[in-house]
Amino acid sequence: MNHAELKSLVSRALDKLYDRDPELFLLDASEWAVAHRLAVYLEHELPPGWNVDCEYNRQGSEREAKAMGNGGKVRPDIVIHHRTLLEPEHNLLVIEVKKNENDADLMKAREYTKQPNGDRKFQYQYGLALSVIDGPKLHWFMEGHPL
């Protein structure tokens, strides 16, 4: 899936989120609640075969926890991937969902798309830092660079 197709898919899922679940924003629900509903809508937009997981914390076929290059354990908010497979073609998108824009989450979304290094054995094709308050603000990354 190319970036244009992925952007369109994410846009459709976000439209559904804002149309069908406005109370999540009116009630100031947690980022986890927002991420979960977005993941549901993403799953419905994707071609069969892709897995959409929230707070996913495993890498490869082992029961090894996902780690960043500095050895810290990570749980991305939403991932679109093929479980157990490490190659980038099986790790399509990682999304960091926040209520407000946050530089730390921009950096995490960017880092996930860089070449594997240190303890990190995985790389996503695309990263997205998404702030959801006052309408979505999207920051896309690929190969460690903003798009």
Q: What is the pLDDT of residues 107-123, one digit of tens each?
A: 999 999 999 887 777 89
What share of the chain has pLDDT > 90, as a percent? 69
Tell me the residue ranges of DSSP E strands in the chain: 51-54, 58-59, 64-65, 78-81, 91-98, 126-131, 137-142, 145-146
Mean pLDDT of 64-74: 57
Pairwise pLDDT comparison (138 vs 120), residue with the higher score: 138
From 43, 34, 40, 61, select the one nearest 132 (Cα to Cα).
34
* Dist. CA 137–CA 131, nearest whole Å: 5
Residue 55 burial (C-beta neighbours within 10 Å; 0-12, 13-18, 19+): middle
Determine the average pLDDT of the residues in 50-63: 77
pLDDT digits (tens, 9 = 90+) for 80-105: 999 988 889 999 999 999 988 878 88
Contact 118, 71 (CB under 8 A): yes
Q: What is the mean pLDDT of the chain?
A: 89
What is the SS3 assignment for 111? Answer: helix
Residue type, 72: G
